[in-house]
Amino acid sequence: MTRDLGLSNWLSALASALIDQSASQIAEFAVSLPLLVIFVIGIFDFSNAVTIKQKLTNAARDAARVAAADPANDLTNTTPPPVSVVDAFWVVDNYLISEGMAECGLKTALPTPAGTLTWSSTVSCPPGGASNSIVLTINRGYVTPQGTSPNIIFLVNTQVTIRYPYSWQFGGVAGLFGHGFTLPSGITTAAVAFNEN
């Protein structure tokens, strides 16, 4: 009788081992882990990009507002740049510093003429190259139409555009799993304010 009980226990243990699904759970986890990693890194990467975009939008909005409130009687100056352009430039540079963002020496690149009533500053961020540059463009003659035909009027505004380099982690991680994503090499934002003077 003792022998039958041992064989019965052994058969019962063998049957429960064959029915045990812990190995399938490990396999399912191994299959779903890459997708989980992509989601987690994507959430952090995109939320960081949205935060940077919001900071840049605030900087551009403040700079456009400051420039639009300044007089426009010196806009024909090219050297030195007009006071309103320099004011907007310093607002952006100080905003980047106050938010703890890399300004990459922007303060050393005063705006230069880039067209009619448009000035631009470009500075490369390490490791350099066009895709890793901060580009600040201040257009004091940005025209927008208002109204409907035939009663269209044209408003003269100030537009401040900031292009800031951003290195995406999501594309690199997705590439490890065989999914290639081409993401922009920077974040661009613009703000417009009506010229008061």
Please name which of 114, 115, 96 lies closest in space to residue 106, comparing C-alpha atoms.
Answer: 96
d(CA 17, CA 60): 65
Structure tokens belonging to residue 29: 């986890």
Look over the chain and give the mean of its residue pLDDT values, rounded to a whole number. Answer: 85
d(CA 72, CA 156): 11
Residue 166 near residue 50, CB atoms below 8 Å: no
d(CA 42, CA 183): 12
d(CA 98, CA 2): 81
What pLDDT is recorded for position 1?
46
pLDDT (tens digit per residue) in 38-79: 888 889 989 999 999 999 999 999 999 999 999 888 888 777
> Is the omega angle on the peptide bond into residue 71 within 30 degrees of 0, that is, cis?
no
Structure tokens belonging to residue 48: 């960081």
Can you give the residue ranges of every domain in the chain? 25-194
Mean pLDDT of the 151-167 span: 93
